[in-house]
Amino acid sequence: MAHAILMPKPGQMTEECTVIAWHKKEGDPVAKGDVLFEIETDKSTMEVESFDNGVLLRIIAAEGAVVPVNTVCAYVGQPGEAIPESAPVAAGVPAAAPTAAPVTAPAAIPAVVPAPAGVAPTLTPAGATSAAAATPSSAPDGRLRISPRASRAAAEAGIDPHTIAGTGPGGRITERDVVAALAAAARPVPPVVARAAGAAPAPTPLPVAPVEGEDESRPLTRMRRVIAERLTASWTSTPHFTVTVAADVTGLFALRSELKATGTNLTVTDFVLSATAQTLAEFPDVNARTDGVSVWPRRRVLLGVAVSLPGGLVVPVIRDADRLSLGELHDRAIELAAKAREGTLPADDMTGSTFTVSNLGMFGVEEFSAIINPGEAAILAVSSAIPTAVAIGDGLAVRTLMKLTLSADHRLVDGEMGARFLGAIRRRLEDVGAFRQAAQDA
């Protein structure tokens, strides 16, 4: 039988990918391991290989199509083999409606499906067929099929769940269906409901008068949209607080110059990553995550490093960073940053971070704070090292100071813990002897 080629799910947060190029045409022979097509996620590009031998029977997703994950993109089989009428999907994913046309992105805003007189209209995602909309979200015994969280969300929003068409397994109503129904009815989404469904409440756009000389608008890139969605959700759902210290890195810079003269090229970021990783192992609560109800401790330090790209920002992950030497941290950070800038960073190296370091010191930034990445409890912002007049005893001396700002989730980290955590990083950065020994051991 013909085998379906599904759109892979490169990352935990990835819901759709764009087909950017096909390497095979319909009718071309295909061997197991051959690259069929390339896709673009919000962070990188990757190749999709065939797991079967045969020929490419049909291409479902055309180049440029935005395709939900686990959706059929093509079929591979033996010449003349029939194409299944329904597209198989991965376990737990509702089957997609069969179509021979290229796959396009589903509309985000639901539509109101007309109903007979006297019957409340059903709210259903745009693009769904009337037959699907007519399917009631109720079991044979007449009970409404709705998840407990969706039921609470509907009650919070003041909407009758019987008017909502469910998109979950067996037509079950989910929280996202409630949010979609509110959007269809042009009703505001309560923040509690939006956060529960994993979406940020849509802000009301302020009217902006055209400005003389203003160019035509252009859409945000896919990467920028994802960054905006995730960080807006973090900022609106996570109680951020910040604390700042200034680390005296005069001795650290002198050590760096010494090492460079002997052929050991370490960056300021390497020292910061090492100090942060060791401190995270000392403060496991800062390495945890919470949804406001439960806490998930992490036994491993998976350190994210923010890397700027022309189109946005990615966060490669250094796994078990607290167990790596200075040299190993340096090599791994350089390797991941290079892959990120080349667009070849695997999805596994961009997911699962437990803490992130964002360094803008190379841009002359005196001080800044960063927004916590979703799924983490804190993020460290590293500013420039600046020569500063410092009072030492009864006199003044010029020392090189570098400000470190911790943005933390107040649900997990309080002010005292944040201050002790940041103070521990500062002490490690100022302990030049320990770094000298670590560099020699490497």
Which residues are annotated as catalytic?
Answer: 410
> Closest by alpha carbon to 85, among 75, 94, 77?
75
Contacts of 49 (CB under 8 A, 6+ apart): 33, 34, 35, 36
Contact 34, 50 (CB under 8 A): yes
Amino acid identity of residue 164, one-letter, is I
- Please tell me whether residue 321 adopts helix, strand or coil conformation: helix
Contact 77, 50 (CB under 8 A): no
Residue count of the chain, please give it.
442
DSSP classification of residue 72: E
Contact 95, 86 (CB under 8 A): yes
Q: How far apart are CA 315 and CA 303, in angstroms?
A: 9
Within 200-305, residue ranges assigned H as helices are: 222-237, 250-261, 268-282
> Would you state the structure tokens that stand for residue 101, as one six-digit string?
């046309």
Contact 272, 356 (CB under 8 A): no
> Would you state the structure tokens that stand for residue 258, as one six-digit string?
């010494």
Q: How far apart are CA 412 and CA 433, in angstroms?
A: 33
**Other C-beta atoms lying within 10 Å of the C-beta of residue 364:** 9
